[in-house]
């Protein structure tokens, strides 16, 4: 799908290219497409027939071979896709998806996607880690943004911008060259989940609420960090964004990403690195103080937070999975969480409620897309093979109306799945 190697220290790992994040788009005619990021750019695959995916081509990387190609993210508004990367000095790629239904299969893996494409970098944008688009309101929330230095050169008006910033773009003004709606400095290191709120807190119904996953604690010295912050914003007025809550979740190292229940009353958060801390990996000291008594089986965890009052979030529990892998991106659909885990693939968690409405989780289904790596990967490899813990699945997208699920496995490619109606065990489950 156009993925490229990255020379230097990543040459062996990226010899055949790596994938990163994934999203989906459905055309007005009902054709379904996987939008797949990689070390070569953004690839497009038609998955209307899930047993016969059709690769249509990919964007060209703005800097082939650059280490920033390792990270990419994509969001969609109407018929446009927006792709960001960590390439310093890059712009945001925009693809007009309206032509996709008329395209045939790409003749080769290096085929450039034959669709209208654009780029923009308003507000002093130099690179980003993630983008989340509120498809209802048309605002794009861009996380981990590097800003051009010089107060006159960035929308935050800062002479020397910090490393991590947020840009909010109004895609309604011009989807291929949007206006900057807001710039917020030193916040939004990692990810967002924006919604038009329809939850139980009547004070905020109908408003644009944004759940902010701010990564690590950047204010304390290395060796003293105790975990990252999560915030909840009322971002209805982009000129006056109100922070409703700012909190640390007990045991959290890196507030990575999140999603709410369909009812918007409970928030799920994942921590990409807490398992490393529990395993005693010294690398994690950059993010948080390692534990005194490490374990060789640090259970994968998903954090549950009660947000029935948006300005008073209450931590419920850290649900522990039957794996020891690092959990990564996830999406909630109906009463299930679809979660990508690096070395243990797609994990589907059942959202359950008791008589009081309290939420809990249980394991429902899984598809291990990297079965060559053992379950106790964090113990076997340790820092001498650090990158191995981050192989496998990066992202998953389960939101197609057809029920097709697509996932991006970094080293194994695009995975196309269905959730089985009945329990499945044995080799037949890998088909």
Note the Cα 404 to chain centre separation in Å: 19
Rg (CA), the chain: 21
Query: What is the phi/psi pair of residue 421, to 5°?
Result: -75, -25
Question: Kindly report the CA angle at 346 between 2 and 198, in degrees rounded to 5?
Answer: 100
Pairwise CA distance, residues 291 & 285, whole Å: 10
| Strands of 295-353, DSSP E | 301-306, 314-320, 327-333, 336-341, 345-353
- Which band of pLDDT confidence, cut at 50, 70 and 90, is reported for residue 222? confident
More confident of the two residues 295 and 260: 260
**pLDDT at position 186 over 90:** yes
Q: Is residue 28 part of a domain?
A: no
pLDDT at 278: 87
- The structure tokens listed for 81 are 């896709």
What percent of the chain stands above pLDDT 90? 79
Which are the contacts of 28, defined by CB distance < 8 A and separation ≥ 6? none
Give the full edge-to-edge strand order of the sheet including 393-397.
393-397, 405-409, 413-417
- The structure tokens listed for 426 are 């044995």
pLDDT in tens, 366-393: 998 888 776 666 655 455 566 788 889 9
Distance from the first to the final alpha carbon of the chain: 21
Q: Is residue 421 part of a domain?
A: no
What is the SS3 assignment for 272? Answer: coil
**pLDDT at position 288 over 90:** no
Note the Cα 171 to chain centre separation in Å: 20
pLDDT at 374: 66
Which are the contacts of 189, defined by CB distance < 8 A and separation ≥ 6? 129, 143, 144, 164, 214, 215, 216, 218, 228
pLDDT in tens, 234-244: 999 999 999 99
Pairwise CA distance, residues 15 & 228, whole Å: 34
**Nearest Cα to Cα of residue 2 among 107, 127, 93, 144:** 107
Q: Is residue 256 part of a domain?
A: yes
**pLDDT at position 229 over 80:** yes
- The structure tokens listed for 106 are 């790409």
- Which band of pLDDT confidence, cut at 50, 70 and 90, is reported for residue 178? very high
Q: Report CA-CA distances (Å) from 168 to 31, 160, 181.
A: 30, 20, 5
Which are the contacts of 165, defined by CB distance < 8 A and separation ≥ 6? 144, 145, 146, 147, 156, 183, 184, 185, 186, 187, 188
pLDDT in tens, 48-60: 999 999 999 999 9
Find out whether 370 and 393 touch, Cβ atoms under 8 Å: yes
pLDDT at 427: 61
Note the Cα 114 to chain centre separation in Å: 26
- Domains contained in the chain, number: 1
- Which band of pLDDT confidence, cut at 50, 70 and 90, is reported for residue 289? confident
Q: Is residue 321 part of a domain?
A: yes
Q: Is residue 250 part of a domain?
A: yes
Query: What is the phi/psi pair of residue 107, to 5°?
Result: -75, -20
DSSP 325: S
Find out whether 373 and 381 touch, Cβ atoms under 8 Å: no
Segment 72-87 shows an average pLDDT of: 98
Find out whether 248 and 274 touch, Cβ atoms under 8 Å: no
Find out whether 142 and 155 touch, Cβ atoms under 8 Å: no
pLDDT at 51: 96
pLDDT at 424: 64
Pairwise CA distance, residues 149 & 344, whole Å: 41
Query: What is the phi/psi pair of residue 170, to 5°?
Result: -95, 100
SS3 content of the chain, % helix, strand, coil (to 5): 10, 40, 50
Pairwise CA distance, residues 259 & 194, whole Å: 9
Q: Please report, for the domain that includes residue 335, its CATH number.
A: 2.120.10.30
Question: Kindly report the CA angle at 85 between 157 and 73, in degrees rounded to 5?
Answer: 110
pLDDT at 382: 53
**pLDDT at position 29 over 80:** yes
pLDDT at 420: 82
Report the range of poorest mean pLDDT among 29-33, 181-185, 229-233, 382-386: 382-386
**pLDDT at position 339 over 80:** yes
Exposed / middle / buried, residue 213 (Cβ in 10 Å: 0-12, 13-18, 19+): buried
**pLDDT at position 364 over 90:** yes
**Domain of 269?**
64-396
Q: Is residue 45 part of a domain?
A: no
pLDDT in tens, 398-415: 999 999 999 999 999 999
Q: Is residue 156 part of a domain?
A: yes
Segment 287-305 shows an average pLDDT of: 87
DSSP 112: B
- Which band of pLDDT confidence, cut at 50, 70 and 90, is reported for residue 282? confident
**What mean pLDDT, rounded, does the chain reach?**
93
**How many C-beta atoms surround the C-beta of residue 119 within 10 A?**
14
Segment 343-357 shows an average pLDDT of: 95
Q: Is residue 322 part of a domain?
A: yes
Find out whether 215 and 256 touch, Cβ atoms under 8 Å: yes
**Nearest Cα to Cα of residue 271 among 319, 310, 239, 313:** 319
């Amino acid at each position: 799908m156009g993925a490229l190697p990255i020379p230097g220290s990543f040459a062996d790992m990226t010899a055949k290219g790596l994938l990163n994040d994934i999203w989906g788009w459905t055309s007005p005619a009902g054709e379904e497409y996987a939008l797949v990021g990689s070390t070569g750019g953004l690839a497009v695959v038609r998955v209307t027939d899930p047993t016969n995916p059709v690769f249509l081509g990919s964007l060209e990387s703005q800097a082939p071979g650059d280490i920033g190609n390792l990270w990419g993210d994509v969001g969609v508004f109407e018929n446009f896709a927006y792709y960001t990367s960590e390439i310093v000095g890059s712009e945001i790629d925009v693809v007009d998806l309206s032509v996709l239904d008329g395209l045939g299969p790409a003749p080769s893996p290096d085929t450039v996607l034959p669709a209208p494409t654009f780029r923009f970098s308003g507000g002093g944008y130099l690179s980003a880690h993630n983008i989340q688009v509120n498809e209802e309101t048309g605002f794009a929330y861009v996380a981990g943004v590097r800003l051009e230095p010089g107060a006159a050169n960035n929308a935050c008006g800062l002479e020397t911008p910090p490393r991590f910033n947020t840009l909010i773009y109004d895609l309604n003004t011009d989807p291929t060259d949007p206006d900057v709606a807001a710039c917020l400095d030193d916040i939004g290191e990692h990810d967002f989940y924006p919604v038009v709120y329809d939850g139980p807190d009547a004070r905020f119904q109908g408003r644009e609420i944004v759940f902010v996953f701010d990564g690590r604690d950047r204010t304390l010295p290395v060796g003293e960090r105790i975990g990252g912050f999560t915030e909840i914003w009322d971002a209805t007025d982009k000129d006056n964004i109100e922070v409703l809550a700012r909190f640390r979740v007990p045991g959290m190292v890196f507030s990575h990403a999140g999603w709410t229940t369909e009812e918007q009353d409970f928030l799920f958060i994942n921590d990409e690195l807490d398992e490393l801390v529990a395993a005693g990996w010294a690398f994690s000291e950059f993010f948080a103080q390692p534990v005194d008594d490490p374990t060789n089986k640090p259970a994968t965890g998903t954090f549950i937070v009660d947000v029935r009052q948006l300005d008073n979030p209450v931590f419920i529990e850290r649900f522990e999975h039957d794996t020891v892998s690092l959990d990564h991106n996830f999406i909630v659909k109906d009463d299930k969480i679809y979660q990508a885990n690096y070395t243990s693939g797609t994990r589907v968690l059942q959202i359950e409620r008791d008589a009081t409405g309290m939420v809990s989780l249980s394991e429902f289904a899984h598809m291990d897309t990297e079965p060559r790596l053992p379950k106790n990967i964090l113990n076997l490899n340790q820092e001498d093979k650090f990158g191995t813990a981050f192989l496998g699945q990066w992202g998953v997208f389960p939101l197609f109306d057809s029920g097709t699920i697509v996932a991006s496995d970094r080293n194994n490619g695009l995975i196309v799945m269905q959730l089985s109606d009945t329990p499945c065990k044995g080799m037949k489950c890998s088909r």
